Amino acid sequence: MSSFLYSLNASTIRTTPLLDKIRIAAEAGYQGIELWFDELEAFLADGGKLETVSAAIQESGLKIPTMIMIRDWWSATPEEYPAVFKTCLERIKLAAQLGAEYVIACPHREKPDYDLGAVRYRELLEAGIEAGAKPAVEFLGFVEAVTRIEDALQIVEKSGHPEATLVLDPFHVFRGGGSMETIAQLKPEQ
């Protein structure tokens, strides 16, 4: 990401209704809010409208730097993958409609096939660029694999895509370990 925004991860006030989260984040002085797809989809399933969420974001002045998350894209079997890809793309399109620049691409939680992950990430990234919100590979400090910056960077680099990027979440950097020198080696666009 080219600039940093002081943003609220909406999960930190999980039980608060979605529209209240947006209002509270703005009133508290945040510049952005990181929304979760599960919560947005529940709001829509209960009869809420995407236009209502979009209007609340616009009125609040908040930005949505990222939305959380697309999952199973890496771990899905070949038979499962078309349906998983479709779900991921639907979420990417929702993010784009709300003005989010990035979508968090949750990693494989067990020992992964990095070559497969790179191919699938590139496919998602290309679809995301076309839709208007780019997937960014995340590493999680609390899973068996893909716990460090270096792990996520493998996917970014193996994808071979010039717009491939990863998420640098300080919590996961601390929890998963990895080298601070790796951060210094990242290209600005990563």
**What pairs with residue 8 in β-bridges?**
33
Burial of 22 (0-12, 13-18, 19+ CB in 10 A): buried
Helix (H) or strand (E) holding 122: helix 114-131
CATH superfamily of 7-185: Divalent-metal-dependent TIM barrel enzymes (3.20.20.150)
Q: Which amino acid is at 166?
A: L
Nearest alpha carbon to residue 103 among 64, 153, 141 = 64
Q: Helices (DSSP H) in 11-80: which residue ranges?
A: 18-27, 37-45, 50-60
Q: Helices (DSSP H) in the chain: which residue ranges?
A: 18-27, 37-45, 50-60, 81-98, 114-131, 149-159, 170-176, 180-185
Condensed to tens digits (0 to 9), the pLDDT of residues 24-64 reads 999 999 999 999 999 999 999 999 999 999 999 999 999 99
**What pairs with residue 67 in β-bridges?**
35, 103
d(CA 83, CA 106): 17
Helix axes 81-98, 50-60, angle to 10 degrees: 40
Decide if 177 contacts 143 (C-beta within 8 A): no
pLDDT in tens, the chain (190 residues): 446 789 999 999 999 999 999 999 999 999 999 999 999 999 999 999 999 999 999 999 999 999 999 999 999 999 999 999 999 999 999 999 999 999 999 987 778 899 999 999 999 999 999 999 999 999 988 877 888 889 999 999 999 999 999 988 877 888 887 777 888 888 888 8
